[in-house]
Amino acid sequence: MAEKQDIWQILSERMRLAQEGDSKEYELLLSKCREILNNHLSSKVRDKEDREDLIQDILIGIHKARVTYRKEKPFAPWFFSIARYKTIDYIRRKGTRDRMVSAEMEGFAQEEKISIEDRWEVQQGLESWLNVLEPRQRKILTMAKLEGKSVREISETTGLSESNVKVIVHRSLEKLKRFFSESERTIEGSKTSKK
């Protein structure tokens, strides 16, 4: 257990140094992340090419989201939240081709009791992803989508008109979609350039 904790602390430090521009530390970080992902996914995604594509997709997601990582927060929840979202994207793209991953993720989605660790991991992941937004966008999107408040309630709380709230929610979602879908285009471009 202590060894695992040390690895995550090392990765956290490497990310901090990478954010400061240390390309060697960033290379080491991505190499270790690749190793962790390969071990984690080897029993879940049996097809080697599919697994490699998924790992590449997750690494690109990490690269795109690296600006959202905060050094005072643990690295593992941030890392695994990106891996989880990218795995869900993988399942959607592949349909039911990889039944083992699909079944596992379906089971995950249907779990009624989520452990404290998982809840915390999801919260940290969402917090990291929402850092892409401006503070006002983040606040309003959190109220609308995470707290489940109505447009009217948000309008009353913030003093903004209901139509303005709707526009901010829509633009925030579009901004998140654009930011994180760019990795999909990057992957497709790299696949066609290999051929």
Q: What is the CATH number of the domain that holds 80?
A: 1.10.1740.10
Rounded CA-CA distance 30/118 in Å is 23
Domain shared by 93 and 137, yes or no = no
Please write the tens of the pLDDT for every residue from 112-127: 344 444 455 555 556 6
Spatial CA neighbour of 4 closest among 40, 28, 42: 40
Q: Within a domain: residue 43?
A: yes
Q: Is residue 110 part of a domain?
A: no
Same domain, 26 and 73: yes
Q: How long, in residues, is the chain?
A: 195
Look up the CATH number of the domain holding residue 153.
1.10.10.10
The answer to whether residues 130 and 178 belong to one domain is yes
Indicate if 65 and 119 belong to the same structural domain: no
Please check whether residue 106 lies inside any domain of the structure. no
151-155, 165-169, 186-190: least confidently modelled range: 186-190
109 in any annotated domain: no
Under 8 Å between Cβ of 14 and 58: no
- CB count within 10 Å of CB 190 equals 11
Q: Do 175 and 88 belong to one domain? A: no
> Is 179 within a domain?
yes
Domain that holds residue 125: 115-194
pTM for the model: 0.54
pLDDT single digits (tens) 80-115: 888 888 887 777 777 644 444 444 444 333 333 444
Q: What is the DSSP letter of 115?
A: P
Shared domain check, 48 and 76: yes
Q: What is the mean pLDDT of the chain?
A: 76
User: Is 164 a member of any domain?
Assistant: yes
Mark residue 22 as left, alpha or beta (left: phi above 0; alpha: psi -120 to 50; beta: remaining): beta
Are residue 9 and residue 70 in the same domain, yes or no? yes
Closest CA to 44 of 105, 100, 109, 96: 100
Nearest CA-CA partner of 83 in 122, 114, 28: 122
Residue 107 maps to a domain: no
What is the domain count for the chain? Answer: 2
Q: Is 61 domain-assigned?
A: yes
pLDDT exceeds 70 at position 180:
no
Per the CB < 8 A criterion, the answer to whether 57 and 90 are in contact is yes
Residues 62 and 8 in one domain: yes
